[in-house]
Amino acid sequence: MTRLIINGKDFEVDAPGGMPLLWAIREQCGLTGTKFGCGIAQCGACTIHLDGQPIRSCITPVTAAEGKNITTIEGIASDQNTLHAVQQAWIDEQTPQCGYCQSGQIMSAVALLNENPSPSDAEIDAAMSGNICRCGMYGRIKSAIKRASESLQSSTTPEII
């Protein structure tokens, strides 16, 4: 058994044979917001944060995350009744279509804004091009990142739903 800390909570998982984090998170911890898209770090749907850094959970073995802080889409807001500024911006821009890639998109966007509070278009492209959206909502994702960037800088407290 391996001990994982996900969104501040402890989980015990059984991860044989180099099992990637994605499957432990989804199947054993029941956190299905993190998605399976490609299995080879090509689409970004499985993006989570490991000690704050965005990683592709579909190729990261469970053992590499032992004892580290894992954050998933379910854990980016400060509590259950609030949304992260990026999530709110996603709603304001009516960004998702099918929505399947959006957990990964949001995790990449949050990591980008943590690192670079006001990214340029080129910096957004560079940070987000590992995340595929087959519904093609790239324009809206970009607008939402800019909106979130502005709201994060104008207010330090998350918006209440």
Partner 1 sequence: MKKWTRRAFIGAGVLASGAVVIGIAIRPGNRSSKVAGLIASADETVMNIWLKISPDNTVTAIIPHAEMGQGVHTTLAMMLAEEMDADWSKVKFLEAPADKEYANYVLAKGFIAGDKQFPKFLEGTIDGVFLTAVKSMNFQITGGSASVRFTGQHGMRIAGAAAKAMLLQAAADTWKVPTEELKAQNSTIIHQASNRTATFAELAPAAAKVKSPKTPKLKSQEEFTIMGTSKPRFDIPAKVTGEAKFGMDVQVAGMKYATIKASPVFGSKVKSVDTTISSSMLGVSKILNLGNAVAVIADGYWQAKTTLDGLPIEFESTANNKLSQADIINGYKKAMDTALAEDELDLHFKKGDALKELESAETLVEAEYELPFLAHATMEPMNCTTWVHDGKCEIWCGSQNPLGVKAAAAKLLDLDFDQVTVHNQLLGGGFGRRSETDVIEQAVMIAKEVDFPVKLIWSREEDTQHDVYREATLSRMKAGLDKSGNPIAYTHQFIFKHHPPEAADMPYDIPNQLIQYSSPETFVPWGNWRSVDHSTHGFLTESFIDELAFAAKQDPFAYRKNLSKNNPRFQAVLDLVMEKSGWGTALPANWGRGIAIAQSFGTIVAEVAEVEVSVEGKVKVHRVVCAVDAGFAIHPDGFIAQMESGIIYGLAAAMTGEISIENGAVMQGNFHDYPVTRMNEAPKIETHIINSGNPPGGGGEPSTPVIGPAVTNAIFNATGIRIRQLPISKNDLRESMRQTT
Does position 103 interact with partner 1 (CB under 8 A)? The reply is: yes
Read off the tokens for 78: 């400060």
- With CA atoms as reference, report the closest residue to 160 among 86, 99, 82: 82
Residue 141 found at the interface with partner 1 (CB under 8 A): yes
Q: Which is nearer to partner 1, 54 or 96 (CB)?
A: 96
Supply the minimum distance, in Å, between the C-beta of residue 10 and partner 1.
20
CA distance 49 to 113: 13
Min dist CB 18 to partner 1, Å, is 8
| Binding flag, residue 112, partner 1 (CB under 8 A) | no
Q: Which residues are CB-neighbours of 117 under 8 A, at least 6 positions away?
A: 149, 152, 153
- Minimum distance between the CB of residue 50 and partner 1, rounded to whole angstroms? 17
Among 47, 57, 102, 149, binds partner 1 (CB under 8 A): 102
Considering the complex, state which of residue 5 and residue 132 has its C-beta at the smaller distance from partner 1: 132
Instruction: Kindly give, in sequence order, each residue whose CB lies less than 8 Å from that of residue 25, ignoring residues fewer than 6 positions away.
Output: 4, 6, 31, 34, 48, 57, 70, 72
In this structure, what is the dihedral angle of CA atoms 131, 136, 142, 148, given to the nearest 10 degrees? -80
Using the rule CB under 8 A, is 137 a contact of partner 1?
Answer: yes
Largest CA distance in the chain: 47
34 binds partner 1 (CB under 8 A): yes
Residues making contact with partner 1 (CB under 8 A): 16-17, 19-20, 23, 26-28, 30-40, 42-43, 45, 72-74, 77, 83, 87, 90-91, 94-103, 106, 124-126, 128-142
